[in-house]
Structure 1
Amino acid sequence: MRKILLLTFYLTLLSMNLNATDVVKPPLISYKLTFPEAQAHYVTIEMTISGLKQQTVDVKMPVWTPGSYLVREFAKNVEGFTAQANGKPIKAYKTNKNTWHIVNGNATVVNLRYSVYCFEASVRTSLVDVSAAFLSTSGLFMYPDGMLNEPSTIHIVPFAGWKTVSTSLTAVNGDQFTLHSPNYDILFDSPIQVGNQDVFGFETGGVKYEIAMCSGGNYDKERLKNDFTKIIEEETAVYGENPNKRYVFIVHNYLKGSGGLEHLSSTVLGATRNGYSNEAIYHNFLGLVAHEHFHLWNVKRLRPIALGPFNYEAENYTTDLWIAEGFTTYYQAVIVRRTNLYPTRDFLTIMAADMSMVDNQPGTKIQSLVDASFDAWIKYYRPNENSVNTTMSYYNKGAVIAMLLDLEIINNSKAQKSLDDVMKHMYNDFYKVKKRGYTDTEFKAGLENFTGKNLDDFYKKYIYGVDSIDYSHYLGYAGYKVTNELNANSNAYLGIKTMPGNGNNMVAAVIRNSPAWVAGLSAFDEIITIDGNSVADVDKYLTTKKPGDSVEISLLRDGQPMTFKIVLNNNPQVKYVVEELPNPTVEQLAVRKKWMKL
């Protein structure tokens, strides 16, 4: 019996060793980046794939970048694609808009080379010149089809004078110009800044933070570090943990800049170079910081189920961007208020502006929140002259909905719970335990768990529907009401938005159901005179009129003269303000205190 057991053991061991030699090792993928024509905005990429077993391989370029829901067709910027094996050219050709087919035969190593034109200044696209390179990785790096889970190494040969790399990717053996990515989801979520940016950092909650300030600015490093720390600590308190060990802020300073794009362990922000000494501009910047950093939880980890794993070749549809972006927009104001970096009045003004923006957009009565989320790919990022009439912003309306739900939860729980508890619960349940995204139904259930009530009617009216919102009802929980400053305004209303054109005012948009809409004015009409007068500022001219007055507008449409006589009506626009109710109750003051952490 003993001999049989030993024989079985040795045979098993032999089999294991034989099988070990048959294990197929995954390919090794590496990139080398050079900038031989940085002045012309090009980066040249050499991609090497080693350990191939198949006779052919396809490589693909993503068509979009996560966080920016628009198919941008990054392959349009690729030039001069070539393929070699064993030092000789091999057959390679495109099979569709973003796929190159390589015939490598028996060669186990292929070398690909291509250049990418990089000249779009934004947080989501690459920009290369002699001063620096911002590398938005999803628009640069091709990946072998079926190998999204494979690791890769990126070696950057800097242009003359470039000394610094800022990215959340890990440096190999301490060499900042050689980076490692464990898979393509990480690579495409890790932008890279190369140049001479001003880099400084701080640590909070055991997480190391790096701020890379690009293109100068009148910023105060110590103030930034202190204010960033306050924001980060307040956001971490919502979720109870910070899942990062290291996080990078890449800040592009422009003559006039804005916008941001979130990533798993970094973000890219646009800022106004010399705006840091202007309190209003600086407070807006802090709101942007709070927004994009809050995304490291809400979207990058707590996410709609459609947003990961990603299909990089097509749209990834979700009806929940009102949660992903709208709730984050709400929290950017809430978080900055909690830090006391601006007063309560400023927070209420921000919320009033969101409510005003929602109600001043005619498209709010046309497009629901779920439709706005789903159609972001074809509408939100592709606005036209009629978008104001047909669409609404899931950012602003989503923020308003978050405010309503927050107040509902605080009120119903007698100031014991808030929307914070929903976010933390969903983060723990789905990101940490279930390790997947949530469905519409699951998030609604999470909200109902903390509001303590069925939200079918709420969803029917405000999420799936386009009903008007009774803001004062919800703000009344905290002892506030909403009033419209323009209620007593008797200014006349025409209903157009204008822009400069050929030295005259050109119609940019015509508002649905306005006098201009009914009369037949059109976008791109060039206004020559109003009542026979050359008018530099149409809105200012209308302040001399009252509802019921007529104006005669002479214009050119495609070069043809036309005249319209239009009767003006009352201005339907709103400008909300949040005001305190007289003699708020103890209960209302408790809700207020919980809401804003007073």
Structure 2
Amino acid sequence: MRTLSLQYQLSVKSWQQHLFAVELKVPEHNEATLTFALPSWIPGSYMIRDFAKSITEITFTHADTGAEIAAQKIDKQTWEVATNGDGVIVNYVVYANDLSVRSAFINHEYAFINGTSAFLNVVEMSEVRCTLQIEKPAQSHWQAHTGMTPIALDSNPQYWAYESHSYAEFIDHPIFIGECETLSYEVDGVTFELVFSGSHQLDLARIAKDLKPICRHHMALFDHPQPVSRYVFMTLLAENGFGGLEHRNSTALLYPRHDLPRLGDNSQANKTDGYITFLSLCSHELFHTWHVKRIKPDVMVTPKLGEETYTNQLWIYEGFTSFYDDLTLARAKLIDGKKYLDIVAQNISRLLQNAGRYKQSVAQSSFDAWTKFYKQDASATNNIVSYYTKGGIIAFGLDLLLRHRSNQTVSLDTVMKRLWEIYGRDECGTPDNVIATLCQQEFDIDVNDYLDSVVYGTDDVPLETWLDDIGVKLHTRSAVSAEDKGGYTDATEIRHQLGATCKPAAMGLSVIQVFEGLAASKAGVMINDIILALNNQVVNQAKLQRLLDCASDTHVTLTLIRDGQIVNVALPVLQARQDRAYFTIENEEKLQQWLDH
């Protein structure tokens, strides 16, 4: 089959109006009719996003005559054009105002776009080479960065040029055009590039220094079979926002600009929680280079990007990666064992507050990611469980279980190496039962009882069974405040618990979550209620908790505004639930041995 070349051109049409212009040139071919389609979701983010809704104008013209060709739109993202085998030029405009890692965004500092938001696929042409020319913008200091392979374009210096060897590869390279700070470093023969949007005088040398051992750890875990020779950490900086999305040799990140170390900022001598979270996010997305982009569920080897692709394996992919992202920081000595255990305790605390963990298994959560996980409403915590959070705790437990049952000769590291060797190198895709089968066949360890309980069932992970092996003990306590995320603290615990999450309102507190089975739920407090007073005392967050803790009666009166009306409800005064976890280190040597593998 002859490989055809699809030529794409991308330019920033207007940063003020958030518009990209795209041109696609299709050469002569053997089809009477061509079908042009834009994906409706982006791999790694399991939700139908209907990217084609952002195409604001589109025209199809004959490549030789320039005459416009009629196109029939056959669904929300697909156009059909009668070409009689002649070349076609497609011109269209993409609206780009979604500040996220999943779509496209333009402002005065930079333009960012994913291929799934920008580049039409020619359905009939399965064997294609895709080339891209990016028009250099008027802002001469703007740069272009992407993981795509650059090619020379001596004949036209007004463009940056790149190529990919398939459409699937082509759309798996996010593109950054704009003002930025950059730095490159090398680890074991692989070049890593840091790209941060804007100009903020970041301490890039320090960030690179801290990322190097993370890169080295991941490469060593998989015995150095690095599937890429170049990797780009592409970070969009904003006042607020958080996100990361993996790609075949890059990641797109969204992060608060003020949480990163800056040049000359001595206050950053110690790692802040915000900076630790950034390093963990980088660790997470880099780990996906092996575990998601190469090792992947069988149905994700060639997914249909126009419709949902269901799998119950996301707990393996996002869960295992969530275990390794923070663990790597401890192994790399970027944080100590105590800080690592506090991070794990915060993850466990999120689960302990999540009544949905008793209603939905992580296998079901994986399958329903398209709706229940990615389209959460305010009651989600009562009805679903996160395959990220519980999946990470499952991975922690599986590591301890394998070590225990193998007399410390097999660990989750061992499993990851075999997953890579069997399924990752050739990208052949994993079956649903891959973990149980691999542990049984490769290591003669039966983990079906564990997986049936915590993956396909809704039991909590029995970490306490094996924690003595690594010298730590798990405890629970009540919260010390509404902002308490869990982990060790010596602050005084609250006595009584509202059982709802609130945020300040113009008057009082606005209810944004109500937790099933706790006091607010029993009283009939509803989402969007405004709590004005407790026993006729006007409240803010701190005062509400003080009054609750001092309450001696079985009930107190909450005064609410609900849909413009004053409502009084009787709130039961209940002992605060022990839903915050923390660890104590009983044997430093055992813990360090585990962290050191």
How does the TM-score come out when normalised to structure 2?
A: 0.91
Is 1:513 the counterpart of 2:517 in the alignment?
Answer: yes
Q: Secondary structure at the match of 2:394?
A: helix
Aligned with residue 527 of structure 2, among 511, 523, 526: 523
Count of aligned pairs between the two proteins: 567
Structure 1 counterpart of 2:350: 357
Partner deviation per Cα, 1:275-329 (whole Å, 9 max, x = no partner) = 2234222111111111110110111111111222121101111111111111101
Is 1:188 the counterpart of 2:193 in the alignment?
Answer: no
Structure 2 counterpart of 1:544: 549
Q: State the shift of 1:252 in Å.
A: 1.4
Structure 2 counterpart of 1:268: 252
Q: For residues 206 and 575 of structure 1, do their structure 2 counterparts lie closer, same or farther at Cα, with a shift above 3 Å needed?
A: same
Aligned with residue 496 of structure 1, among 490, 495, 500: 500
Structure 2 counterpart of 1:375: 368
Q: Distance in 2 between matches of 1:397 and 1:30?
A: 44
Aligned with residue 59 of structure 2, among 51, 69, 82: 82
Aligned with residue 154 of structure 1, among 109, 132, 136: 132
Structure 2 counterpart of 1:51: 28
Contact 1:134/1:194 (<8 A) preserved: yes
Structure 2 counterpart of 1:426: 419
Q: For residues 489 and 470 of structure 1, do their structure 2 counterparts lie closer, same or farther at Cα, with a shift above 3 Å needed?
A: farther
Q: For residues 179-578 of structure 1, what are the structure 2 equivalents within 5 Å?
A: 179-241=162-224, 242-277=226-261, 278=268, 279-280=271-272, 281-432=274-425, 435-449=427-441, 452-486=444-478, 489=493, 491-537=495-541, 539-546=544-551, 549-578=554-583
Q: Secondary structure at the match of 1:43?
A: strand
The amino acid that maps onto 2:42 is: T
Q: Distance in 2 between matches of 1:288 and 1:450?
A: 31
The amino acid that maps onto 2:179 is: N
Q: Distance in 2 between matches of 1:69 and 1:253?
A: 24
Is 1:125 the counterpart of 2:103 in the alignment?
Answer: yes
Contact 1:275/1:282 (<8 A) preserved: yes
The amino acid that maps onto 1:271 is: Y
Q: For residues 136-155 of structure 1, what are the structure 2 equivalents within 5 Å?
A: 136-155=114-133
Structure 2 counterpart of 1:19: none
Contact 1:547/1:570 (<8 A) preserved: no
Q: Distance in 2 between matches of 1:453 and 1:548?
A: 55
Structure 2 counterpart of 1:11: none
Q: Distance in 1 between matches of 2:244 and 2:302?
A: 22
Q: Secondary structure at the match of 1:373?
A: helix
Q: Which shifted more, 143-152 or 395-404?
A: 143-152
Partner deviation per Cα, 1:3-30 (whole Å, 9 max, x = no partner) = xxxxxxxxxxxxxxxxxxxxx6444311
Q: Distance in 2 between matches of 1:36 and 1:404?
A: 52
Q: State the shift of 1:451 in Å.
A: 6.5
Which structure 1 residue ranges, 5 or more long, are not aligned? Answer: 1-23
Contact 2:10/2:132 (<8 A) preserved: yes
Q: State the shift of 1:44 in Å.
A: 0.9
Identity %: 28
Structure 2 counterpart of 1:18: none
Aligned with residue 580 of structure 1, among 585, 592, 595: 585
Contact 1:216/1:273 (<8 A) preserved: no
Q: For residues 507 and 92 of structure 1, do their structure 2 counterparts lie closer, same or farther at Cα, with a shift above 3 Å needed?
A: same
Q: Which shifted more, 75-84 or 276-285?
A: 276-285
The amino acid that maps onto 2:205 is: E
Q: Secondary structure at the match of 2:16?
A: helix
Q: State the shift of 1:221 in Å.
A: 2.0
Which structure is larger by alpha-carbon Rg, 1 or 2?
1
Q: State the shift of 1:146 in Å.
A: 3.3
Q: Distance in 2 between matches of 1:548 and 1:333?
A: 44
Q: Which shifted more, 160-169 or 37-46?
A: 160-169
Q: State the shift of 1:594 in Å.
A: 4.2
Q: Distance in 1 between matches of 2:443 and 2:538?
A: 57
Q: Distance in 1 between matches of 2:313 and 2:356?
A: 18
Q: State the shift of 1:528 in Å.
A: 2.7
Structure 2 counterpart of 1:95: 74
Q: Which shifted more, 251-260 or 288-297?
A: 251-260
Contact 1:418/1:595 (<8 A) preserved: no
Q: Secondary structure at the match of 1:70?
A: coil
Q: State the shift of 1:243 in Å.
A: 1.2
Q: State the shift of 1:148 in Å.
A: 4.5
Q: Secondary structure at the match of 1:274?
A: helix
Structure 2 counterpart of 1:8: none
Q: Secondary structure at the match of 1:33?
A: strand
The amino acid that maps onto 2:193 is: E
Structure 2 counterpart of 1:15: none
Q: For residues 197 and 149 of structure 1, do their structure 2 counterparts lie closer, same or farther at Cα, with a shift above 3 Å needed?
A: farther
Contact 1:491/1:546 (<8 A) preserved: no
The amino acid that maps onto 2:245 is: L
Q: Which shifted more, 537-546 or 84-93?
A: 537-546
The amino acid that maps onto 1:368 is: S
Q: Secondary structure at the match of 1:296?
A: coil
Q: Distance in 2 between matches of 1:37 and 1:492?
A: 55
Q: Which shifted more, 41-50 or 468-477?
A: 468-477
Q: Secondary structure at the match of 1:306?
A: helix
Q: Distance in 2 between matches of 1:557 and 1:235?
A: 52
Q: Distance in 1 between matches of 2:372 and 2:16?
A: 35
Q: Secondary structure at the match of 2:119?
A: coil
Q: Which shifted more, 532-541 or 191-200?
A: 532-541
The amino acid that maps onto 2:257 is: R
